[in-house]
Structure 1
């Protein structure tokens, strides 16, 4: 009788140990994946900041050209200010926060692209070494932004798949920091080529 009781108690302890071990393992994996996302988010912010840092130099180069459209420059300055003022808490990277950040960045990008299109009408400005170098740096930065956003989406995808599997979802739902993360999404209509029309310039 005593032996049977000890076997039952031992089995219960082993079962509890296995459950605690499993929960600890899942929790630690969620922590690791969550930290990977935060690290990658830092990379995303870095490349967006690099673009924001290039814009004042671009504006100063363009300002030197006589009769350049000052309204466009003011719009870029305002869009840059809005884009750099949005700060996202890396512990709260939900879809709404990502979309808010992305909208401000796309707005800035639209004004920069408009500026680059308008510059086409200013061959003297376009041919200056300063402008050429800044344009190349902006293009390189846009490529880096795309790469870092894709890497961020990969990390988010890996995290979301892991945390939504059973029984991990039960443990993840106990902790706010393990909520589903948001993705960067393609801009609606981005698959279409932009129409360039200088007839109204």
Structure 2
């Protein structure tokens, strides 16, 4: 065998191995995004299951605050539909509404000493608050995984493999600016 043939075979073999490594790495990134989304989904379902209990506990005390309770119920439904449809953008909007509704509900609870002292309410409020923190942590991990995936499928030479095998970009899970703003508690009591 000639030296040029050996060099060509080695070069082609190395190129094939390199492309396989890129492909496997892209598969791993895609599954990291899926795993991160699954982690968020589990927490959203747990919170989804806790909210009816919270609303029911609040109903016993907050007979005059029907709007606050209905807002949480509607937002919970919107989150469930967005989850079911795997619509990340709609989920971000629905999550914003739900978080604002919960913030308002917890702020209103301050004016009901009996509710505030209720052991069930305290437990549910603590549980939901804990889930909110966990969701925020998982959302950060999901967005980081999504970002790494999206960058890699656009970088050369990965873009060649990504386009050849149909790898797609994922949407970031974002909440609107209103979710980041402080809740004006004084407006709740007017």
TM-score bracket for this pair, using the shorter chain length: 0.7 to 0.9
Aligned length in residues? 190
Deviation at 1:89, TM superposition (A): 7.3
Q: 1:188 aligns with which of 172, 177, 183?
A: 177
Residues 8 and 199 of structure 1, relative CA distance in 2, 3 Å threshold: closer
TM (normalized to structure 2)? 0.88
- CA RMSD between the two structures: 2.2
Greater helix content: 2
CA distance in 2, matches of 1:66, 1:185: 32
Instruction: Report matched runs for 1:9-20 at 5 Å.
Output: 9-20=5-16
TM (normalized to structure 1)? 0.83
Query: What is the CA deviation profile of residues 25-67 of structure 1, one whole-angstrom value per residue up to 9, with x for unaligned ones?
Result: 1000111111111111100111111211110000110111262
Match of 2:68 in 1: 72
- After the TM superposition, list the runs of 4 or more consecutive aligned residues in structure 1 that deviate by more than 6 angstroms: none
SS in structure 1 at match of 2:134: helix
Report the structure number with the largest CA radius of gyration. 1
Residues 125 and 77 of structure 1, relative CA distance in 2, 3 Å threshold: same
Query: What is the CA deviation profile of residues 90-142 of structure 1, one whole-angstrom value per residue up to 9, with x for unaligned ones?
Result: 7xxxxxx4222211121122222221122222121111111111111111111
Residues 75 and 194 of structure 1, relative CA distance in 2, 3 Å threshold: closer
Unaligned runs of 5+ in 2: none
